[in-house]
Structure 1
Amino acid sequence: MATNDAGGFSREEEHSIEFAFGHKRPKGQRLKLGKAGAKAQAWRTVTKAPEVIVRVSGGGKTAQHVKAHFDYITRRGQLEMVNDQGETIRGKDQVADLFDSWDMDLSKGQGELRQAFNVVLSMPAGTDPQKVLAAAQGFARETLYGKHQYAMVLHTQETDPHKDAPPHPHVHLIIKAEGYNGKRLHIRKATLQAWRETFAEQLRDRGIEANATPRAVRGVTKKSKGVALFHLEKKHGREESHVYRAKVEEAIKELNAGTQELKPWEKAIINRRQKTLREMLQAAKTYEAEGDKELADAIRKHAASLPRPETERHAIKAEVAQELQRIRDQGKQRGPEAARGDKDKER
């Protein structure tokens, strides 16, 4: 059974993350869902309900940067913006008036501290865009209303004038970092998870099946690329990325040296996976004891289906090893002289 397999790095490491079909509040205490809520969350996870995405895409450190983002997400006034009062802002002039009302030039730390946060809330293609927008408004009211000024814009492939508009509906939410009381907003990893849960709940309230499962419970171990790197690789190709080339060179060195030692973060991933699996199987055992064998079996099946844990470094190393083997195999087919030439190329 796959749950006995430590996965992509080693079968000897042991390890650790809390499995709770799984929710934590920002301060770390377990969120009590109640039996019905916990079961519903478990079913959404094992049936792979669509996962919401809430990510911070950046934020300006000057008033000018924040104004530029207002213009960017509204496509210079072509798309409607909704402010924290639920009012619709249309056209370049109204967008400029809304920005002026934020008094960004009076915020502390101009040029040093982030003056606003740019957040993206999205769902897979095919989701009702208006319900995504309504859920984003509900999320913002529950999370930010009365604390921070904010505004948002819905982007869809049909309405976004950008030539490369993605197919999935998403909302660009811009939040003023300095609150009404002068306190600054700090977005941490636990904050983002809590925000994902709130956004998913708002979507479910509107009849859209949505989940906010932690990465470890879904078996995801590779971190997503930063926005800048993603667009750079999309525009020029992955091989043109200095970051990617450096990782390839490191992989070649390790393969030539026969290095097998795991990096500390890879050991942590193995540990998280092992503990996640233990908690999943314990949850299955508990539900079975309560008489819900169907859910228990579904949890076990989900645990067995998790992919082998893998980081980008591990994936690149595997790609390089496969390519080197291909070169060697071609050399064998062409004869010893050609094989020696290929080895010189590898160096």
Structure 2
Amino acid sequence: MTIDPVATKTEPRRVQLRVESVIEETSDSLTLVFSHLGPDGPTAFTYRPGQFVTLEIPHPQHISVARCYSLSSSPGIDDLPAISVKRTPYGHASNWLCDNAVVGLTMSALHPAGTFVPARWDRPLVLLAAGSGITPIMSILKAALVSHDQQVVLIYANRSPKSVMFADTLNDLVQRYPTRLTVSHWFESERGLPTFAGLRDAVPVDPGSDAYLCGPAGFMELAVDVLVAAGVERDAVHREVFTSIHTNPFLDASLQEPAETAANVGTPVSAEVEGTSYSFRCPPDTVLLDAMLQHGIDAPFVCREGTCGACAFTLAAGEVEMRGNDTLDDYELGKGMRLACQSVPVSASIEITID
């Protein structure tokens, strides 16, 4: 089906989430369990292991700010979606949530997004996390153990045993899956910062593994070196990279009204966006995301800065030039993934798919 998108007005990609439970994980972190409020009450919430949601957080100087939080729950396993938040020094959003989140609080959010999602579940998994980087790793870990049958190794770095998030859940999973799950903790209070030699001893020598990493940049860079040295293929190593976003999609006018766009100017684009087909033109020197929003197409996005991966698409035909990329790795680029907020068409026509 091909739709004339110029005449289509889309609803904003926002949802309403209600806090149903607040769980204290550590002295400075908590998990918020949500229900998804539809027009007629609670409804299903669709996401994939490893994805994140973007919340609108009140702010005294800026009306609101947008912040991305990984889902620590796992679809089909946990009854309700959940995020886990750790206080950060001078972090407005994390401190606001830790101080104000109570049962019954309703918040605006964007649909789940992100590419930190396993594309296959038939290979051993090596998961490395540091601090609150455990949140998307927990989602992937539970999905692997409950819904699949591969071996899983988790290496989790923290300041001390008291700062381990999901400690009880991890202990329970080790008891339930003793032959498939191995968990190794690294405590800075006992061993100092993670080292190459220390992590190398904990990483199994299995070149057929897929690896997923989340934590501070220095930790992930070290982990990549360790994994490659252990024989894991570089394109099988995936990192979740989050940086503070400077735009606010909740206040972006393009979420509200499609702009008038010349129908016959620019590069012809055939796009399949979450199962719906569109044909439109991308004006010269315009990124694909802007062109889609101008044509009223409900394309996913969050940061518009090339850092979150929410607008990732697969390039099926043609060529684009990316102005920036802080989230897609070499493996994803090799599969044809690109970022709509950074991609400008440079061929006569292009075909793209957004799942």
TM-score band, normalised by shorter chain:
under 0.3
Larger-gyration structure (1/2): 1
By percentage of residues, which structure has more helix? 1
**TM-score, with length taken from structure 1:** 0.24
**TM-score, with length taken from structure 2:** 0.24
